[in-house]
Chain A
C-alpha cells in the first residue's frame, strides 16, 4: 500500500508499475502481485533500495528475477542506482500473493 503522505509516493508508484513488468518465470505472474517486494527506499538521492524475497530460498530463477528488477528500475529511474536487499525474514508465503495474483494462479 502506498501512503500519499509519503514524500516519495510518486516514485513508489512509478517503481511499482515498473516492477510489475518483472515476471516470475515459473508462475508467470509479476513479482509485485506475487508479493516478493517488501519495500522500496528512496532516501538516498542516488539510489533505490529494493527490499525483496524469493518464493524459495536460492530459487534457481532468483538471478533472473534480480536482473529483471535492475533492468526495469534502471529504465524508470536512470539517475538512480538500483540496490537489492534480499531477505528471508519474513518468509514468503501464499498470503503474500495479491488478489489479482491469486486470480491468475486460480486460487
Chain B
C-alpha cells in the first residue's frame, strides 16, 4: 500500500457550489454592465458602479477564488482541508451577503440590509481564513505559496472589515477621515492584498503544474511577497494619515516590483516547461498578466489627471482584464478534475472513460477566448473614447461571454457518468 496518504481531493461540497454560483454572478455582473453603460466612465462613487464593483469583487472573483482555494489547499499544504462544513458555511454567508450588498448598493439603501449583508461577508472571510490557517497549521511543509495564501487571507479580513466600517459610516458617521480616501484604501487592500497575493501564491503552484515546468528561482517569490506587502502597508499607513497624492506612486512601484519578481518566476517556469503546446486556457492567463501590468502603468495617469474615465479604465483592467482573464482560463483547468475524480476515479484502468477535458465543450473555448479578448478591447476603447453606445454594445457582448462560460461550467457540474461496468 502507499506509504504516503495521497487521497487529498476535497469533498465536492467545498468546491462546486462556489464555481456554479460564481458563474451566475458573472452573468449578473455582465447584465449590470449593460444596464449601467452610461455610468461606466463617470465617478466610481455611484450606486450602480459600486454594485458592479462588488458583484465583480465578491460574487465573481472572491467566489471562484474561495472554491479554487479549497480545492488546491490540500495540494499546496499536502494534507486534507481542515473542514468541509466550514467551507460550505463560508459559501452560504458569502452568497447571501453578496446578494444583499449588490441590492443595497444598486438602490443605495445604506440601512440594516447593507450592514447585515456586510457582516455576513466579513464572517465568510474570517471562516475562510480560519479554515486556511488550520489547514496550513497542520501541514509539515512550509512553502512560500502558503505564506502568500495566509497573507492574502489576512488582507481579505482587513478589506472586508474596513468595508463594513465604511458601510456603517454611511449610515452613522463616525470615521473622521474623508470617506472616499478610506474607500481607496479599502479597494487597494482588496486588490493588492487579497487578489494579487492569492493569485501569485496559487499561480506559482498551478502554472508550473500545468506547463510541466520548474523554476529554481524561489527567491523571486519571496522577494515578491515582501515587496508587495511592504508597498501595501506603507500605502495604507500613509494614505490613512495623509491625502492620497503623487507620492503613492512610490508604493505602487514597490508592489509592481514585487509583481514583476513573480512574473519573472513564471517566465522562468515557462522557459523550462516540458509542454511546448500552450493551449487557449493558458493564453487567458497570459492576457490576465498583461492587463495587470497595464493597470500598474495607469496608476501615474490616475494620480496626475482628474478625469474619472482613467479610474474606470484602471478598474476595468483589474476586474474584467486581470481577474476575469485568469478565472475564465483556470476554471477549466481545475473544476473538471474534481468532477472527474468523483465520477471516474474508481473506473480508471478498468474501462475506457472520458478524460477531464472531455467534460466541457472544448469547441466553445476558442469562441470564449476571442470573444472575451475583443469585448475587453472594445470596453477599454469605449471608456477612453467615452462612447456610451459602444459600451452598451460591449454590455451585450459581455453577456454572451458569460453565457458561453456559464454553459461550460454547468455542463461540467451536471456531468453524469456515461459508462457502466
Binding site for B on A (CB under 8 A): 21-23, 25-28, 54-72, 75, 83-86, 88, 93-94, 97, 105-107
A67–B78 CB distance below 8 A: no
**A57 CB to nearest B CB, Å:** 7
Distance, CA A25 to CA B350, complexed state (A): 14
Distance, CA A55 to CA B210, complexed state (A): 11
Q: For the complex, is B176 an interface residue (Cβ under 8 Å from A)?
A: no
A106–B348 CB distance below 8 A: no
User: Which residues on B sit within 8 Å (CB–CB) of A107?
Assistant: 274-276
- 9 closest residue pairs by CB, A with B: A68-B348, A68-B349, A71-B349, A62-B6, A94-B274, A72-B349, A63-B7, A64-B345, A86-B2
A60–B74 CB distance below 8 A: yes
Interface of B is mostly: loop
Distance, CA A22 to CA B338, complexed state (A): 18
Residue in A closest to B344 when the chains form the complex, CB atoms: A64
User: Which residues on A sit within 8 Å (CB–CB) of B3?
Assistant: 85-86
B348–A57 CB distance below 8 A: no
B346–A67 CB distance below 8 A: yes
Give 15 CB contacts A-B under 8 Å.
A21-B349, A22-B349, A25-B356, A26-B210, A55-B212, A61-B337, A63-B8, A67-B349, A68-B348, A72-B349, A75-B350, A84-B1, A84-B2, A105-B276, A107-B274
| Interface residue count on the B side (C-beta < 8 Å) | 35
Partner of B2, one of A66, A71, A94, A105: A66
Q: For the complex, is B404 an interface residue (Cβ under 8 Å from A)?
A: no
Q: For the complex, is B357 an interface residue (Cβ under 8 Å from A)?
A: yes
**B71 CB to nearest A CB, Å:** 7
Distance, CA A69 to CA B7, complexed state (A): 14
Task: Take A85-B3, A86-B3, A94-B212 as given contacts and tell me if A57 and B78 are in contact as well, using a CB distance cutoff of 8 Å.
Answer: yes
A-contact bits for B1-42, CB 8 A (1 contact / 0 none) = 111101111000000000000000000000000000000000
Q: For the complex, is B267 an interface residue (Cβ under 8 Å from A)?
A: no
B9–A63 CB distance below 8 A: yes
B349–A106 CB distance below 8 A: no
Q: For the complex, is B216 an interface residue (Cβ under 8 Å from A)?
A: no
B337–A25 CB distance below 8 A: yes
Q: For the complex, is B340 an interface residue (Cβ under 8 Å from A)?
A: yes
User: Which residues on A sit within 8 Å (CB–CB) of B137?
Assistant: none
Q: For the complex, is B355 an interface residue (Cβ under 8 Å from A)?
A: yes
A65–B348 CB distance below 8 A: yes
Distance, CA A92 to CA B341, complexed state (A): 23
Residue in A closest to B333 when the chains form the complex, CB atoms: A26
**B296 CB to nearest A CB, Å:** 31
B1–A58 CB distance below 8 A: no
B341–A60 CB distance below 8 A: yes
Partner of B341, one of A64, A75, A85, A93: A64
Q: A25-B340, A63-B345, A85-B2 are in contact. List 14 more A-B contacts (CB 8 A).
A: A21-B349, A22-B348, A25-B356, A26-B337, A56-B209, A58-B6, A59-B209, A60-B338, A64-B341, A65-B348, A66-B2, A70-B349, A71-B347, A106-B277
